[in-house]
Amino acid sequence: MIFPSFRPCVQACQPARGLTTGRAPASTRNDDHTGPRLTRGNAAERKVEREALISLLAGRPIVLVGMMGAGKTTVGRKLASRLGLAFVDSDDAIEAAAGMKIEDIFATRGEAEFRAGETRVISRLLREPDTLIATGGGAFINPETRELIKAGGISVWIKADFELLFSRVSRRSNRPLLKTADPRATLKALIDQRYPIYAEADVTIVSRDVPQDVVAADIIAALSAHLSGTGPQT
């Protein structure tokens, strides 16, 4: 057992707000917001939009899913800060629980043990109200973890195309699944295998080559539309 009793180290981005933790009815629809979207409204309108979204979430965590390099961690941190939610990255929480880097968990314990620990950690994080969880790239692909996320959170797939992802993940060599003879082919194969599963998320947005703040604004707009029932039907 490499994940001893674990207290998630949720990092507060702003002081906590006094929200309820009641669960609003879950929607099963995927709202696909893959078209171009501009940041809309003035500062006052955006504040109203943010407050309405927090109210619609009713304490449920936002869970970002998608491939390595999609921007779950970096965009997620900005988004949490904007919404006044606590931010937690499941990869960081796993490393804290295991006392090891993810690369070392893969190397010494193997992927299956990593996935089992990831499920346990995400299960705990989902019970923290008013939280934004950036998951690791494979978390939503694991059936058990996926069911937990569907039951306990509102999931957002940050979708990006191959070339954008490859250019981003090439900047660092800390992703064990890409340490292969042909990382391009590996990433392509993972995209083919995973995209139909990520599409099960509640909401989809596309990370284009735009600043992270724009992606964060897209997510707020897409979530607001989804939770208020005004998003596109698929």
Interface size with ligand SKM, residues (CB under 6 A): 9
From 12-20, 156-164, 173-181, 200-208, span contacting ligand SKM (CB under 6 A): 173-181
Q: Which of the choices ligand ATP, Mg ion, ligand SKM, none does residue 212 contact, using the CB cut-off of 5 to 8 A by kind?
A: ligand ATP
Cβ-contact 142, 52 below 8 angstroms? no
Tokens of residue 5, six digits: 């009793």
Distance of closest approach, residue 72 Cβ to ligand SKM, in angstroms: 8
| Element spanning 17, H or E | none
70 forms part of the interface with ligand ATP (CB under 6 A): yes
Separation between Cα atoms, residue 92 and residue 168, nearest integer Å: 19
Among residue numbers 118 through 157, which ones bind ligand SKM (CB under 6 A)?
136-138
DSSP class of residue 128?
A: S
Type of residue at 37: R
59 forms part of the interface with ligand SKM (CB under 6 A): no
61 forms part of the interface with ligand SKM (CB under 6 A): no
176 forms part of the interface with ligand SKM (CB under 6 A): yes
Separation between Cα atoms, residue 108 and residue 113, nearest integer Å: 10
From 38-46, 76-84, 169-177, 212-220, span contacting ligand SKM (CB under 6 A): 169-177
Cβ-contact 221, 40 below 8 angstroms? yes
